[in-house]
Amino acid sequence: MSPPTLFQLAVKSLAQEIHEEKIPFGFNLDAKSSNAVVRRLLELDPNNVELLETQTKQLSKLTELDLRKCRIDKEGVSNLKNFNLISLEFGGLLHLMKKFPDPTNRNRIDIVCLLEKTLNTNSQKLMVHLGFSGKEEFMSGWEEKVSKLLPSLQSIKIISKEFSQRFQLSNLCSSFPNLRFLDISSAKGLSTLNGIKILKNLQELVMRNVEIRDVDGYKELSDLKDLRFLDVSVDISPFRLTNPIRAIGSLLATEVRMENLEFLDCSVTSVEERELREFVENHPKLKTVVAISTACDHISLPTIDLLNFNSTDSILKSLKYAVSNDRVRLAEHCIRVIFQKLNTNHEQLNDSEISKFLNSLRYVLREAKEERTKLAAIKCFAESNFFETERFSSSFSLEIPGIVELIFESSESLEFVNFPFVSHTLISSLLNRKVNFLRFGQTSQKRFNVIIEKAVELSCRNSAYTEILLRASRLISADQYTAMRNNTKVINGLFKIANEMFTWEASYQQIIEVITIYMKEASEETLKFLVSNGRIVEECVDQIKMVSQFPTRDSQRHLLHFLMVFSSVMSDKQLKKCYGGEAVFKLMGVINTKEMHSPFERTRAIMICSILSLLLAKNLTEHRKPIKKTIEELYYGWVLWNIPDGQKMSNRVFRAIITSRHSTDESICLCLTLMSTFIYTKGYEANGCWNYMRTTSEGIRSNPKMAENKREAANAVLYQMGRIENK
């Protein structure tokens, strides 16, 4: 199936943006674009018909309008006069009966008056196509009056109407003798097609769900010398038919010959292989036959393009035909056949055939207009056994992101309340199957990246997927984590997920722990990307304040560690943006000075004061006084307690605090005190900092102008360094 054109993609994108009100509709469109965008907008939501009233100027070139799913009021009808329409289709009009009543019978609608109110002079003159699909009755004699009102009409759809003595097919045909297209699908009370021979120019006749009971009812079709397209199919599920329509048998019985017929659709009718072969022989110009859901599902006709289920290509053609023509039940049957192939017969399919089936299901998710059709495709993806196999995971792993994305987007647009829930369940099933391969070490790094990235992306949109993400994170190896340490898409997504969760939930703590693993080996470039807009830093500050109200100490420690790591790569501008305002009070507000006997409280206070000291050193805050006071109060309390080990501070932060003229004695002492414990940290690598720490500490200790507490702190650093060197 060919991919959509650039124009089609542009139309879908523009319509979606307008529908979601993401862009103002302040530009004019040409006729082709107006027709396509409005068609797409009405597919997204029939209520978008209101745009015809509010955006009349921008859509002034509109020429084609399909209102079959729209409810339009009297004002909306009058507004259509602003457009020069050549094609118009109405849906149900019963609600307008009181506005346009038949003067002779109030149970009927005056369709002539309605059209006069709807169409301006140009539209009346140029109208080529008119369609009705409601069950309302029209006034007597409407055919002749409408034919005079719309002299250029060449195409009529009149769906679900009841023919009777008052409304006869012969009258319809005599009123519109120049018709090239006629659709009388789901007509009731039509026992014969007598009168249709008047339509000498008729090229297409659609009569789905129409049963002609008169033995000679089809006979006049032989007089239609220009007829090229005939649709006698049925839309009802084949399993619900009690009296199948035998259109082909009747055509053969009355020896009907349509000498120029090129296309026949007899889907879901009662037709035997013998009958179809005879019909094809009688119509030598026939090129295409659609025989979906018939007794001819698995036959082939060498000279005919036969749409049935006989081969992979035929199945795909059948599905595309059904979807593009809004044949919902035919599409569902085609998808059921594909499901059977992928569920039980996939071992008999080669990779090319499977790829075609996957593409066809994706096509359904992109192009189908009906929700139930999309749901059928989603269920096929989620329930077919093929998607549990190693073959799918290994040979088609790169297809997974596109599949899941399409499923998710389709489920988001489904209107029925239970559809999104069902599709989320199906997406979860599909992703869980992929995660299962992690457990057995059967997933390569590339495939693993795909699974994690998609799980993170979906969890950002819907928390229901978070458990899948956590499950996948528990199953992967340290090497796989290391390989993804700089995947900014994943890490950024994890921070977003954490921010949107309730901080007291167990899953929140688990997400924070997953982030910690990634952050341990993240490169400086990755860290700079994460802090580029300040969002993550600001969210971490807010979460620290919220988490401090709950006994989730590990999460608090991790969040503070994130802030310390981020501060080492943030520019002065970024630091000022994130901490220059009220954020410092949020941090200082969680320090509990009454609980300093607790190692956790001391750790939390030290980490917060490290960040505050950096702000002082760089003179990036307007709140120096309260910050200095906080550091002073806590510093003189720290000498009574052991400093917790392992509170890492980067060399950049060390240098900034110790060398800045804006630093206070207490903040420098804090830095030196931390330095003396930092050199004991397990796995610590000096990276050229050892000599710097020694030189700096010796300079402070030997400088008589330095405050005594600074010199004592520097001496403690040198003492610890000496112990390490003498081991």
pLDDT band at 682, cuts 50/70/90? very low
For a pLDDT cut of 70, what percent of the chain falls above it?
86
Average pLDDT over residues 669-682: 59
Tell me what pLDDT residue 348 has.
Answer: 94
Tell me if residue 131 falls in helix, strand or coil.
strand
Q: Tell me the C-alpha distance between 559 and 554, whole Å.
A: 9
Who has greater pLDDT, 523 or 258? 258
- pLDDT for 564 beyond 60: yes
Q: Tell me the C-alpha distance between 455 and 427, whole Å.
A: 10
| H or E segment and range at residue 96 | none
- pLDDT for 684 beyond 50: no
Tell me what pLDDT residue 554 has.
Answer: 81
Tell me if residue 477 falls in helix, strand or coil.
coil
- pLDDT for 414 beyond 70: no
Cβ–Cβ < 8 Å for 143, 168: no
427 domain-assigned: no
Q: Which two tokens mark 330?
A: 């035919």
Residues 6+ apart with CB under 8 A from 358: 396, 399, 403
- pLDDT for 212 beyond 50: yes
Tell me if residue 656 falls in helix, strand or coil.
helix
Tell me if residue 238 falls in helix, strand or coil.
helix
- pLDDT for 418 beyond 70: no
Quote the number of domains for the chain: 1
Average pLDDT over residues 697-725: 78
Give residue for tokens 């007899």. 266
Q: Which two tokens mark 490?
A: 């994943």
Name the CA dihedral angle for 400, 402, 403, 404, rounded to a multiple of 10 degrees.
80
Average pLDDT over residues 242-253: 85
Q: Tell me the C-alpha distance between 524 and 564, whole Å.
A: 13
- pLDDT for 203 beyond 70: yes
253 domain-assigned: no
Concatenate the DSSP letters of all residues of 172-198 into one string.
HHHH-TT-SEEE-TT-BS----TTGGG
Tell me if residue 272 falls in helix, strand or coil.
coil
25 domain-assigned: no
Q: Which two tokens mark 411?
A: 């489920």
The rounded radius of gyration (Å) of the Cα atoms in the chain is 37
Q: Which two tokens mark 441?
A: 């070490």
181-183 and 204-206 strand pairing: parallel
Between 130-134, 218-222, 670-674, 719-723, the lowest mean confidence (pLDDT) is in 670-674
617 domain-assigned: yes
Residues 6+ apart with CB under 8 A from 37: 11, 14, 15, 18, 29
pLDDT band at 389, cuts 50/70/90? confident
- pLDDT for 150 beyond 90: yes
Tell me what pLDDT residue 443 has.
Answer: 52
pLDDT band at 131, cuts 50/70/90? very high
Residues 6+ apart with CB under 8 A from 328: 235, 322, 370, 372, 373
- pLDDT for 599 beyond 60: yes
- pLDDT for 398 beyond 80: no
Tell me what pLDDT residue 649 has.
Answer: 60
Q: Tell me the C-alpha distance between 312 and 356, whole Å.
A: 8
Tell me what pLDDT residue 472 has.
Answer: 76
State the residue range of the domain holding 641: 576-727
Concatenate the DSSP letters of all residues of 285-342 into one string.
T--EEE-TTSTTTT---TTSEEESSSSHHHHHHHHHHHHHTT-HHHHHHHHHHHHHHH
129-132 and 204-206 strand pairing: unpaired
Average pLDDT over residues 161-183: 94
Residues 6+ apart with CB under 8 A from 149: 112, 115, 116, 119, 124
Tell me what pLDDT residue 620 has.
Answer: 86
| H or E segment and range at residue 202 | none
Tell me what pLDDT residue 720 has.
Answer: 72
pLDDT band at 425, cuts 50/70/90? low
Q: What is the DSSP letter of 168?
A: -
- pLDDT for 619 beyond 60: yes
Give the predicted TM-score (pTM) of the model: 0.68
614 domain-assigned: yes
- pLDDT for 710 beyond 90: no
Tell me what pLDDT residue 678 has.
Answer: 54
Tell me what pLDDT residue 643 has.
Answer: 52
| Exposed / middle / buried, residue 407 (Cβ in 10 Å: 0-12, 13-18, 19+) | buried
Cβ–Cβ < 8 Å for 278, 266: no
690 domain-assigned: yes
Q: Which two tokens mark 295?
A: 């007794």
- Average pLDDT of the residues of the chain: 84
Average pLDDT over residues 502-516: 80
Tell me what pLDDT residue 417 has.
Answer: 39
Instruction: Give whichever of 29-43, 405-419, 537-551 has the largest mean pLDDT.
Output: 29-43
Average pLDDT over residues 123-144: 94
Q: What is the DSSP letter of 95?
A: G
Residues 6+ apart with CB under 8 A from 406: 362, 365, 366
Tell me what pLDDT residue 686 has.
Answer: 46
pLDDT tens digits for range 455-466: 787 777 777 778
For a pLDDT cut of 90, what percent of the chain falls above it?
40
Tell me what pLDDT residue 137 has.
Answer: 92
3-state helix/strand/coil string of 569-621: CCCHHHHHHHHCCCHHHHHHCCCCHHHCCCHHHHHHHHHHHHHHHHHHHCCCC
List 66's β-bridge partners, or say none.
Answer: 89
pLDDT band at 671, cuts 50/70/90? confident
| H or E segment and range at residue 146 | helix 142-149
105-109 and 101-102 strand pairing: antiparallel
132: phi then psi, degrees, rounded to nearest 5:
-130, 135
650 domain-assigned: yes
Who has greater pLDDT, 457 or 170? 170
Angle formed at CA 244 by CA 241 and CA 249, multiple of 5 degrees: 165
Q: Tell me the C-alpha distance between 9 and 16, whole Å.
A: 11
167 domain-assigned: no
pLDDT tens digits for range 287-333: 999 999 999 999 999 899 999 999 999 999 999 999 999 999 999 99
